A and B are shown apart, each in its own frame.
Chain A
Amino acid sequence: MGSGEQPAIDLRHVWKVFGPGDSARTIELSKGGSSRAEILQQTKQTVAVRDVSFSVAQGETFVVMGLSGSGKSTLIRCLSRLIEPTQGQISLSGDDLLAMDEDQLRQLRRGRMSMVFQHFGLFPHRKVIDNIAYGLEVQKIDKSTRVARATEILNTVGLDGWADHYPQQLSGGMQQRVGLARALAVDPQILLFDEPFSALDPLIRKEMQDELTRLQKTMQRTIVFITHDFAEALRLGDRIAIMKDGSFDQIGTPEEIVSAPATPYVREFVNDVPRAKVLSVKSVTVAGQSTTNSRTVAASAKIETIIPMLLERDEPITVLDANNQAIGVVNRASVANILQAEQK
């Protein structure tokens, strides 16, 4: 197993080309600047993932956001080796994923990595408890141990009392809790989520996002999370990648992306985002100034938290960094400026 300083997940120039034929030539075409549609016409092949590189640190939540068909599922399936990438390197804490044989891969999946699926991927013929215990059963762990472990996880995700039901007797949100519990039961270091909440109603989705945030606070897993919902990406991601036509347009923290979208495509998503909810006070701080009144705010707080204060009294507020040192002030003008940009 790799050392702590190595990223938990590291992808270098990963490509995936679907369709029969000479994929190397297709990759050359794509590198030469041909679009996906042109390549599909010429070669009948689809470039689903196009030269993607990124790394995820231990305990980080990395969100990949993109619209339908952008290649997100393909990417995460390469990462779990449900499909083989056409080209590129993937390493997990320094171990070469693509060099693993079937047996090593199985070992990896049995303990280090697990996945939550968009349409839950539950086993309809097994009770909730047996669904959750599946990963342990595959590892031939004895029955009493795995039932105990599964019951514990069941309670963690808030499904106490549902153990003996079948998946289709549960609501969508509860089914996905089972999916989540099943993935957690094997105690994996890496969790992969392929649009886990897309099939749920907005309210339930919000609830599940909060649940995941809550769990992640205590468990600190390395998470790769796929979504087509930009708001969800902003809410969950430590860092976000915006994917379009198989490649990444931009990688950055939510704040970096919202304050400086790299391409017009990314800007389109950013435009709909209420900045006050994403940007921190730090981004509107006027450095070097100071004020005499006693109102202070942390630099990492979101802008929305200071709007009531500024409305209450039009006086600057002192901004404090993590060490409680004053680094400047915010006032109505600086906040108004950044919110104004949203209108354009």
Chain B
Amino acid sequence: MKRRLSGLFVLIILAQTLGTRGFPDSLNIGLAEPITNLQSWVRKNRNDHWMFEFILNPFISVVNFGLDSVESVFTWLPWFVPAIIVFAVVARTRRWGVATFAALAVVYPGLVGVWSESIVTISLMAVAVFICVLIGVPLGVLAALKPRVEVALRPILDGMQTVPATVYLIPIVLFFGIGPAPAAIATVIYALPPMVRLTALGIQQVPKSAVEAAQMFGATKRQILAKVQLPLAVPSIITGINQTVMMALGIVVIATLVGAGGLGQEINQTVRRLEPGRGLVVSLAVVAVALVLDRVSMSLVSTPGAQRVRVKRNTLYMSLIGLALAAVVGRLLGWVEFPFSWGTSFADPIDTGFKWFRTTFNVITRPFNDFIVREILVRAQTLFNETITWQAVVAAAAAFAFYVAGWKMSLFTACGVTFIGLTGRWLDAVDTLTQTIVAVFISILIALPIGIWLGRRPRIEAIIAPVLDAFQTIPSLVYAIPFVMIFSVGPVPGIVAAVVYAIPPGIRLTSLGIRQVNNESVEAAITFGATQRQILWGVRIKLAMPSIILAINQMVMMVLAMAIISGMVGGGGLGYRSIEALTGPDSGLGVEVGLAIVIMATILDRLLQATARRMQAPVAV
């Protein structure tokens, strides 16, 4: 091993002395060209080719019809009807506080004056999630029952989650055009994986003994599926729906790039107009929608035998009729829109606050901004573009991969890194990579100490955990808004937003790792007279190391996911290119960027996972 490593080291030196600085344009393999040709073909034939005329366009019409129907129902309903329904559904689990809270969350968008935007977003969610269930559940069942389907699906599902949303929006715009329906389709693609995964998981987790018992009673495969496997998978399937909803809400902002409208568009505009207050208020509406859908779907999962409010059938009919009457009366009296809006009264003080913050702390933020840009980002870029040869970068990456994961991973890494260069996106990739490294580095400095500290204070963590989890439902663009205000447009707000975005899961995973350290090992250390310090560094952190590496890995993935948002606020790099490709639309560029990001994410992910595995104590075979 040592000999080989030193061999690789020599290789790096050699590559550095003999190689070329930067990545030469002459090596571009011209990936974009055929795709650009396809794009012009599609443009020309969009109106008369049979594929559009008889398949894609009718499909769009169906989706549009669904969107319109849901939207008109919600628009027709007086505002208090959904609130009552949500309250009733959640209250069946006897958790009155939660039910009240959920009902208030329904009212919130009206309260801040984005009721109609919320309806647009909710309709899009409803249709997208419905399609997800329609496709995802059968696929999940197939994947669970047929190993071959699973093997085929897994890489696709993994890929769907790493490809930045802007990238696969491109083919959607290309084939479906722009508007709410393409946005819904994009949302389906983005939000489908958890539906499939959790359905498959639910079916696979059905106790084998239950399936065998059913077999032993002579049940047919179909009977087993319908009466045993599916019912037992329901909680998992509902969790899948729940996750799908969360994912779908996660791209409301990005979906506006293809014409989704609704809350996403509002948020997008507040960024442009630099109104963090309004941005926050509207974002909270997205959070409210997420919260309502989450509570409602979770209240539908029943643990067998759980206490529920029992409603007699007659009472149920009576209340439904009552509700319908209330709706009609509300309609007649014109109580449709929420009667007043407090939106500006929340938003304005926040805006003023940020303005004050900006001018007051300019002495700190300005130098910070300049330091990061000039001393780190620019330097790193010159280093990669003018000092280190690309061959040396490839060799170094391959050497690290070899060290943590063996020669196969090493080969994959070398090919992947080279390929990014061959697509012609070397510079952008370097840009994104340096920003990612800076953001991850800062995140580590903040998240790990807090996580380690929290890991031994379960009580405090129990209080903080829900707050941290709530952070993850906020659309990622929202994180960027205040920082754009503070730092003005450029890479820094993107980096800081990415840090804020990545920290919560980093803290959670680290503290989880610390908490899961075997108590007996700690006690053993104590009986040997180890000091607190020795226990922390020698036992707790050591044993939690695999989890900590996974926490870092998670943060890397979150930061990368922010690359696009970062591009939206002036961060440059691959994120910016992906938006450029989408608004062009320039499909060729889109494919290049997409491949570059996916390759980068895959390599980083695999390498970090391998590092975590290396640190795991060897298991007896």
B217 touches which of A109, A118, A119 (Cβ 8 Å): A109
Whether B218 pairs with A120 at a CB distance below 8 angstroms is no
Whether B218 pairs with A108 at a CB distance below 8 angstroms is yes
Q: How far is the CA of A120 from the CA of B208 in the complex (A)?
A: 11
Q: How far is the CA of A169 from the CA of B209 in the complex (A)?
A: 19
A120 touches which of B209, B214, B305 (Cβ 8 Å): B209
Query: What sequence of 0s and 1s flags, for each residue 211-231 of chain B, a beta carbon within 8 Å of any chain A beta carbon?
Result: 011111111100100011001
**Smallest CB-CB separation from A118: which chain B residue?**
B209
Shortest Cβ distance from B399 into chain A, in angstroms? 35
Question: Which residues between 119 and 145 of chain A lie within 8 Å of chain B, taking CB atoms?
Answer: 119-125, 134-135, 137-139
Whether B218 pairs with A107 at a CB distance below 8 angstroms is yes
Whether B218 pairs with A134 at a CB distance below 8 angstroms is no
Whether A168 pairs with B218 at a CB distance below 8 angstroms is no
* B84 proximal to A (CB < 8 A): no
Whether A138 pairs with B305 at a CB distance below 8 angstroms is no
Whether B304 pairs with A168 at a CB distance below 8 angstroms is yes
Question: Which residues of the other chain, B, contact A118 by a CB distance below 8 angstroms?
Answer: 209
* A114 proximal to B (CB < 8 A): yes
**Smallest CB-CB separation from B232: which chain A residue?**
A125
Question: Which residues between 133 and 164 of chain B lie within 8 Å of chain A, taking CB atoms?
Answer: none
**Smallest CB-CB separation from A123: which chain B residue?**
B210
Question: Which residues of the other chain, A, contact B304 by a CB distance below 8 angstroms?
Answer: 124-125, 166, 168
Q: How far is the CA of A227 from the CA of B220 in the complex (A)?
A: 30
Whether A82 pairs with B216 at a CB distance below 8 angstroms is yes
Query: What sequence of 0s and 1s flags, for each residue 94-118 of chain A, a beta carbon within 8 Å of any chain B beta carbon?
Result: 0000000000011111100111011
* A61 proximal to B (CB < 8 A): no
Whether A134 pairs with B220 at a CB distance below 8 angstroms is no
* B207 proximal to A (CB < 8 A): yes
Q: How far is the CA of A53 from the CA of B217 in the complex (A)?
A: 26
Query: What sequence of 0s and 1s flags, for each residue 95-107 of chain B, a beta carbon within 8 Å of any chain A beta carbon?
Result: 0000000000000
Question: Which residues of the other chain, A, contact B215 by a CB distance below 8 angstroms?
Answer: 82, 109
* A281 proximal to B (CB < 8 A): no
Q: How far is the CA of A100 from the CA of B202 in the complex (A)?
A: 32
Question: Which residues of the other chain, B, contact A135 by a CB distance below 8 angstroms?
Answer: 217-218
Q: How far is the CA of A125 from the CA of B232 in the complex (A)?
A: 6
A109 touches which of B209, B216, B231, B232 (Cβ 8 Å): B216
Question: Which residues of the other chain, A, contact B213 by a CB distance below 8 angstroms?
Answer: 115, 117, 121-123, 134, 182
Shortest Cβ distance from A134 into chain B, in angstroms? 6
* A14 proximal to B (CB < 8 A): no
Question: Which residues of the other chain, B, contact A108 by a CB distance below 8 angstroms?
Answer: 218
Asked whether A110 and B209 contact (CB < 8 A) given A166-B305, A169-B305, the answer is: no
Question: Which residues between 169 and 185 of chain A lie within 8 Å of chain B, taking CB atoms?
Answer: 169, 182
Shortest Cβ distance from A41 into chain B, in angstroms? 13
* A330 proximal to B (CB < 8 A): no
Shortest Cβ distance from B128 into chain A, in angstroms? 29
Question: Which residues between 185 and 240 of chain B lie within 8 Å of chain A, taking CB atoms?
Answer: 207, 209-210, 212-220, 223, 227-228, 231-232, 234
Whether A138 pairs with B218 at a CB distance below 8 angstroms is yes
Whether B218 pairs with A121 at a CB distance below 8 angstroms is no
Shortest Cβ distance from A116 into chain B, in angstroms? 9
Q: Which of B213, B228, B234 has most A Cβ within 10 Å?
A: B213
**Smallest CB-CB separation from B209: which chain A residue?**
A121
Shortest Cβ distance from B301 into chain A, in angstroms? 12
Question: Which residues of the other chain, B, contact A106 by a CB distance below 8 angstroms?
Answer: 218-220
Whether B212 pairs with A165 at a CB distance below 8 angstroms is no
Shortest Cβ distance from A282 into chain B, in angstroms? 40
Q: How far is the CA of A115 from the CA of B219 in the complex (A)?
A: 14
Q: How far is the CA of A7 from the CA of B234 in the complex (A)?
A: 45
Asked whether A122 and B210 contact (CB < 8 A) given A165-B305, A169-B305, the answer is: yes
Q: A110-B217, A123-B210 are in contact. List 13 more A-B contacts (CB 8 A).
A: A82-B212, A106-B218, A106-B220, A114-B217, A117-B209, A122-B213, A123-B214, A123-B232, A124-B210, A124-B304, A125-B232, A125-B234, A135-B217
Provide 30 A-B residue pairs closer than 8 Å at the C-beta atoms, listed in order of the A residue: A80-B216, A82-B216, A105-B218, A106-B219, A107-B218, A109-B218, A114-B216, A115-B213, A115-B216, A117-B213, A121-B213, A122-B210, A123-B232, A125-B232, A125-B304, A134-B213, A134-B217, A134-B227, A135-B217, A135-B218, A137-B227, A138-B219, A138-B220, A138-B223, A139-B218, A165-B305, A166-B305, A168-B305, A169-B305, A186-B217
Which residues of A are at the interface with B, using a C-beta cutoff of 8 A? 80, 82, 105-110, 113-115, 117-125, 134-135, 137-139, 165-166, 168-169, 182, 186
